[in-house]
Amino acid sequence: MRESRTCPKCHSTDVLERVRVIDRSEGGARDLSLSLPGTTVAGLFRLPKQLPLTAWVCANCGYAELYTAEPAQIRSLRERVAAEGRATAWEASGMDSEARSRAGRLAMLVLAVLLALGVGLMIVLLLFATAAK
């Protein structure tokens, strides 16, 4: 539809171009995007690369197609991941979004507890250091 400017379903030429597509969640509304593996940080974890999506929509029948403005980045990311021998982020993970959300919340809770323990240990060490003087 993007190249032909014609709907593949009803053959109408009344096509809306580059329509913003948003996703609503607990955090509000945000642009819909692809999440692909990005750069590796300190050899430990990857920051995802977000590629925004836009839609081409038939104003006659409502059929829509999604496109990213940066297909070359998708190819280069796929080649880099394949060269590194890592699992790809675009393959099915076997975990639904609710399970990923729970896992993320659990990870944040564990980090918060570890941070609190670290702060508590620092306070205890400071108290011992000042008491020893």
Please name the residues in contact with 55: beta carbons below 8 A apart, sequence gap of 6 or more. Answer: 16, 18, 19, 20, 21, 64, 65, 66, 67
Average pLDDT rounded to a whole number, residues 110-120 = 92
Domain span at 15:
1-91
pLDDT at 94 (0 to 100): 47
How many domains is the chain partitioned into structurally?
2
- Between 72 and 63, name the one with better pLDDT: 63
* Strand-strand pairing, 40-41 and 33-36: unpaired
Give the three-state DSSP class for 124: helix
31 shares its domain with 10: yes
40 shares its domain with 54: yes
For the entire predicted model, the pTM comes to 0.52
72 shares its domain with 111: no
Give which of 65, 51, 52, 53 is closest to 5, Cα–Cα: 65
Tell me the pLDDT band of 92, cut-offs 50, 70 and 90: very low
53 shares its domain with 11: yes
73 shares its domain with 97: no
22 shares its domain with 80: yes
Please say if the pLDDT value at position 100 is more than 80: no
45 shares its domain with 85: yes
Let me know if 77 is exposed, middle or buried by CB neighbors in 10 A (0-12, 13-18, 19+): buried
